[in-house]
Amino acid sequence: TQTVSQSDAHVTVFEGDSVELRCNYSYGGSIYLSWYIQHHGRGLQFLLKYYSGNPVVQGVNGFEAEFSKSDSSFHLRKASVHWSDSAVYFCAVRANSGTYQRFGTGTKLQVVP
């Protein structure tokens, strides 16, 4: 069974804090991993992706994520969050043999000024 899980439905941090949003997956074979952000009332916007090479990938607005094959994880991190980072974050996985990205349940990040 192919699954992607985001264990935290809500995360609240203060502006300037660091944050890590967790994503774990259960897939066989080669996969492609992405993170997307959804601001309230908007569509999803691409943040970053991993498909090979350096397991730490950099994205827009200071976000980075680290792929771990041993942990089956692709956690998203930011060293210092801004109030405008408040949004819902989705992890997505696509199997090499698949035709679409499967999304996790999302993590709502609230940044308190």
Partner 1 sequence: GPKVLQIPSHQIIDMGQMVTLNCDPVSNHLYFYWYKQILGQQMEFLVNFYNGKVMEKSKLFKDQFSVERPDGSYFTLKIQPTALEDSAVYFCASSLSGWGAETLYFGSGTRLTVL
Q: Report the interface residues with partner 1, using CB under 8 A.
A: 9, 30-32, 34, 36, 41-46, 49, 51, 88, 90, 94-96, 98-103, 105-106, 108
User: Cβ contacts of residue 15 below 8 Å, gap of 6+?
Assistant: 81, 82, 83, 111, 112, 113
Least distance in angstroms from the C-beta of 48 to partner 1: 10
Strands (E), the chain: 3-5, 10-14, 19-21, 24-26, 31-38, 44-50, 56-58, 64-68, 73-78, 87-95, 102-103, 107-112
Instruction: State the first-to-last Cα distance of the chain, in angstroms, to the nearest integer.
Output: 41
Nearer Cβ to partner 1 (18/68): 68
Minimum separation from the CB atom of position 70 to partner 1 (A): 21
Nearer to partner 1, 38 or 72 (CB): 38
- Give me the least distance between CB of 16 and partner 1, in Å please: 26
Q: Which is nearer to partner 1, 86 or 101 (CB)?
A: 101
